[in-house]
Amino acid sequence: AELMNRVPVIWIELQDCAGNSEALLRSSAPTVDSLIFDVLSLEFHETIMAASGHQADAQLEDAVEHFKGKYLLFVEGSIPTAMNGQYGTIGASGETFQEHLMRLSKDAGAVIAVGACATFGGVPAAAPNPTGAVGVMDLVKGKPVINIPACPANPANMVGVVLHYILTGQVPELDSLLRPKFAFGYRIHDNCERRAHFDAGEYVEEWGDEGAKNNWCLYKMGCKGPMTFNNCSIIRYNEGTNWPIGVGRGCIGCSEPDFWDKYAYERPM
Ligand code: SF4
Ligand code: F3S
């Protein structure tokens, strides 16, 4: 029996790689099928829906009309604003991604930006940002926007936000970057399984050295765990299977704004 009302979800993809959709499909607690059948009513999602073309457009318009003010709008991917948005258009009308986002967010109950690109611009916004890519919060005003950054966003955090919304009718408590505190109130470095090695001054100095073989701290190989807020050092990915530092490479700060320019791969001097 259904314990709660399923919340209608419209999921759109803009300047993206579908990595967050992929991550959601791998959600294991709950699984994506129980999520779709028991928790969400997924009204529109280009990548996993059967309809295409005009049929898909019609399904989107029906959902907006039917669930006005109630649906959660999930956005994956950044929004190109250069050249009047002509870097990204969608559907037969040639609507730009920006127009598409503005139109669909107007009637949403809340807008949830998932992944590095939809939150802070991500890789498309990296210098020199030829498409003028920005995140959802730079454009959508006057309605709740929730950011679930990381590359990809952890499906456990997407599910956490949705369950909170269903159970309380509210968005969870957010930090100054609109990230839910339950997931982004933790510094990677403070919960890292290699922290004891950092404290002991035991570092990996070269790939494949003794330190690497013994899972020592990756700070000298460029780990950005000390500057990064996310809960992957606690919950990992894929039902706790593993996470970047667990497989022996540093954190690249994928949940932080401008991570690609500021953090990725740079080693300390
Ligand atoms: Fe901190 Fe990174 Fe070292 Fe972990 S591997 S202790 S996050 S610097
Ligand atoms: Fe991203 Fe760093 Fe976690 S790169 S997935 S925030 S370990």
Q: Which residue has the tokens 């990725």?
A: 264
Report residue 265's pLDDT band, with 50, 70 and 90 as the boundaries: low
Residues in the chain: 269
Specify whether the CB–CB gap between 117 and 147 falls below 8 A: no
Q: Which residue has the tokens 């709660």?
A: 4
Is 69 exposed, middle or buried, given 0-12, 13-18 or 19+ CB atoms closer than 10 A? exposed
Our answer on whether the CB atom of 192 is closer than 6 Å to any ligand 2 atom is no
Residue of minimum CA distance from atom 8 in ligand 1: 219
* Amino acid type, 180: P
Specify whether the CB–CB gap between 242 and 236 falls below 8 A: yes
How close is the Cα of 192 to the center of ligand 2, in Å? Answer: 11
Probe residue for ligand 1, chosen from 186, 194, 234, 252 as the CB with the greatest number of ligand atoms within 8 Å = 194
Our answer on whether the CB atom of 153 is closer than 6 Å to any ligand 2 atom is no
Specify whether the CB–CB gap between 125 and 117 falls below 8 A: yes
**What number is the ipTM of this complex?**
0.98
Report residue 1's pLDDT band, with 50, 70 and 90 as the boundaries: very low
User: Residue 68's pLDDT is what?
Assistant: 97
Our answer on whether the CB atom of 252 is closer than 6 Å to any ligand 2 atom is yes
How close is the Cα of 101 to the center of ligand 2, in Å? Answer: 27
Residue of minimum CA distance from atom 7 in ligand 2: 251
Angle at CA of residue 123, ends 120 and 129, nearest 5°: 90
Residue 32: pLDDT over 70:
yes
Query: Rounded CA gap, 160 and 209, in Å?
Result: 39
CA 251 to ligand 2: nearest atom: 2
User: Residue 4's pLDDT is what?
Assistant: 59
Our answer on whether the CB atom of 164 is closer than 6 Å to any ligand 1 atom is no
CA 188 to ligand 2: nearest atom: 7
Kindly report, residue by residue over 182-205, the tens digit of the pLDDT.
999 999 999 999 999 999 999 999
**Domains in the chain, ordered, with CATH?**
7-182 (3.40.50.700), 188-262 (4.10.480.10)
Our answer on whether the CB atom of 152 is closer than 6 Å to any ligand 2 atom is no
CA 256 to ligand 2: nearest atom: 6
Backbone angles phi, psi at 234, to 5 degrees: -100, -50
Candidates 224, 226, 234, 203; CA nearest to 267 is 224
**Mean pLDDT of all residues in 12-16:** 97
Our answer on whether the CB atom of 154 is closer than 6 Å to any ligand 2 atom is no
How close is the Cα of 82 to the center of ligand 2, in Å? Answer: 29
How close is the Cα of 226 to the center of ligand 1, in Å? Answer: 7
